[in-house]
Amino acid sequence: MSISKKAIVITGLASMAIIGVAAVKPPKGQYTNLQVLPADISAKQLNKIMVDEFEDGLGVTCVFCHAENKDTHKPDYASDEKPEKEIARAMMRMTSGINEQYFELKHPMVGDSIIAVTCNTCHNGQPRPGNEETK
Ligand code: HEC
Ligand code: HEC
């Protein structure tokens, strides 16, 4: 094989290797505003939390917490405009805290199958559980 052909083959292999690495390791920060969940969470994991824990646990839809973009009228998931989203973050921290302190779980994360207390434990499909008087 001539030198130049060899060079082409090597460059070809090298770029395949780079594409391969990029494919298995998605760039960190596909989500831009995570403050409680890990930055490198997969879309599958995140969606499971949003649907199973949040929507089903509270009996709400995405836009209960996520503000609509005024131009596109689609939810802007990274926006913190709705206070419910910040309350949900506080609730995530509280829920992890209960599991860690009282159930002695190490690094419990909302959505983990091992956690003892979930959003649904208190919410039971309602957005505002608790005292009848505070509802
Ligand atoms: C009970 C409130 C609540 C509901 C309901 C909810 N979310 Fe979220 N969502 C959050 C919170 C809180 C965060 C930020 C988590 C953090 O800071 O780690 C978030 C983050 C996200 C993000 C990441 C945005 C970014 O770029 O940072 C996406 C995407 C998302 N939610 C999609 C959805 C979808 C789709 C639904 C409906 C199926 C949904 N959410 C329902 C509270 C909610
Ligand atoms: C230990 C019980 C408990 C757990 C666990 C819990 N919550 Fe709550 N949550 C409450 C109570 C009680 C209220 C109502 C507070 C009030 O009436 O002011 C509430 C209120 C909220 C609200 C405000 C609703 C509104 O209409 O203002 C959001 C959002 C919320 N919780 C999200 C969550 C999410 C998400 C989780 C799981 C990560 C969670 N909560 C876990 C007890 C809990």
Atom of ligand 2 at shortest range from CA of 118 = 5
Q: What is the pLDDT of residues 102-124, one digit of tens each?
A: 999 999 999 998 999 999 999 99
Provide the pLDDT for residue 131. 73
| For the CA of 87, the nearest ligand | 2
Over residues 85-90, mean pLDDT: 98
Q: Residue 135 half-sphere exposure, CB side, CA atoms within 13 Å?
A: 9
Q: How far is ligand 1, taken at its centre, from the CA of residue 76, in Å?
A: 10
Of residues 32 and 15, the one with the higher pLDDT is: 32
Q: Token match 């983990």: residue?
A: 112
Q: How far is ligand 1, taken at its centre, from the CA of residue 77, in Å?
A: 6
Q: What is the mean pLDDT of the chain?
A: 87
Q: Is the pLDDT of residue 95 over 90?
A: yes
Cα angle, residue 108 at apex, residues 98 and 92 outer, rounded to 5°: 60
Residue extents of the structural domains in the chain: 3-134
Q: How far is ligand 2, taken at its centre, from the CA of residue 123, in Å?
A: 7
Of residues 43 and 17, the one with the higher pLDDT is: 43
- Using a pLDDT cut of 90, give the percent of the chain over it: 70
The reported pTM is 0.86
